[in-house]
Amino acid sequence: MPALMALVAGVMQAFSMAWPLDGQPRWWLQVLSLAVLPMLLQAQASRLRAGLIGWVFATGWLTATFWWLFISMHVYGGLAAPLAALAVLLLAGFLSLYYAIAAALFRGAAVARPWRDGLLFAALWLGAELLRGSLFTGFPWGAGGYAHVDGPLGPLARWIGVYGIAAVAAWLAFLLSQLVRPGVRTSLRYWLALGATAGLLAACNAQAPAAPPAGNGARLSVALLQGNIPQDEKFEGGTGIPQSLAWYGEQLRDAKAQLVVTPETAIPLLPAQLPEGYLATLRSFFSEGPRAALVGIPLGRMETGYTNSVLGYQPGKAEYQYHKHHLVPFGEFIPGLFKWFTQMMNIPLGDFNRGDVGQASFVWAGQRLAPNICYEDLFGEELGARFRDPALAPTIFVNISNIGWFGNTIAIDQHLQISRMRALEFERPMIRATNTGATVVIDRGGRVTHALPRHTRGVLVGEVEGGSGMTPYAQWVSRFGLDPLWALALIAAITAWRAGRRRPHA
């Protein structure tokens, strides 16, 4: 029974980021479902059983979060369905080990004191989230903090980022879980902790602006292209490739906005594979006049290596290039010892080289535009590296993506919440051009102001004002990365280990 409760609560944790029926986040569901976990952990007779409960919770959560990886591996990659399903379960089960360790440590060190145990649970949960987002290049998709992009914890993003929000949410979940313990309900310390937390959240929300934070005054008109090229045809010579080259070429030529943006690998061929003169023609569209473009294309050669990249064109300037740094395991690079696995799938351009962290922005029309490609906007600490010099800090984030690999699924909504969180953390607008959705304009307050219908072909025309200044999160994450949060989680883990050694356990 405890394992079943943990599994159901874990699935609800997944749904809190983007509810399956409407794609919207449910912050209260994230806290409520997580509250089930400490309640179950405190009832276990041993650390081993607690670790198992934590593993079941996280496996249910992560499987229900990124189940759509099955589509990329089976439908588009050609991997047999049983193997694709097993691969998703194994990935979720492996990543869940971090949460199992946190659960066991918590059970071993909890001393039935709400203040201390709540802080311990929050810090250990933070440590597990950081491990998932960092080890083996990291896979932080679906981190708990994303459910709060519209909730009362949202204003904390500019101070402590998505991981900090996850820790505060874990603290709240723990306090909520204690309501089922009769002795705790009469504890003055418990109600003081709950009251202090409510006061802090009220203060944060009172300070939250009703309108987006002040911008830099410069406005930019944009045309964001959504080709809706079927993923199973995108790299086919008789269908998707000619469609892409023709449609994107026409839109780049005809768009009237100051900036035209295509999705990731909108041009699906390496330069040497393109029709003669194709790139030169694109460049000529922006050789004069008030327009510029950011174009998603792989660069390099099959023989010497290639990158997932963005080309930038503007009048009177040399060609701009951005190369994706944070690659997707198995989809964009092959981890050591796993080449045999990727050879079982048909994924074109599956072994990219990496670009550098903190690459220069594309400067145009009074804005510093910082491209990031698809999966990269999960890593706010890497986007933060571009804020080390405030004078060169981006004014607008530009995400180009292709979620077509995952079909018409909740992955689109989940990725939208991720981009909205980045806008909140840095108080910078995020414009997104995608193949199938969500192609949107997000303002500096994390609000979607313009959007195209998903799985349609079209051009989203809008206007965006760049951001200015430095949020507290941008200031510390640009200098120290996630080290301050790591230090907090490590101190908690050491405290748990020492307290556990002093107490007998079953």
Active-site amino acid positions: 264, 324, 374
Q: Is 233:437 a contact under the CB 8 Å cutoff? A: no
> Coil, helix or strand for 236?
coil
Long-range contacts from 34-37, C-beta under 8 angstroms, 24+ separation: 34/9, 34/125, 34/144, 34/169, 34/170, 34/173, 35/173, 35/174, 35/176, 35/177, 36/5, 36/6, 36/9, 36/177, 37/6, 37/9, 37/103, 37/173, 37/177
Distance CA 131, CA 96 (A): 10
Residues 56/6, Cβ–Cβ less than 8 Å: yes
Report the 10 Å Cβ neighbour count for 502: 8
Report whether the peptide linkage leading into residue 451 is cis, meaning its omega lies within 30 degrees of zero: no
DSSP letter at 333 equals: B
Which one, of 173, 167, 163, lies nearest residue 142 by Cα? 163
**Angstrom distance (rounded) from CA 417 to CA 218:** 26
* CA 447/CA 146 separation, integer angstroms: 14
Angle CA(188)–CA(190)–CA(194) in degrees, nearest 5? Answer: 115
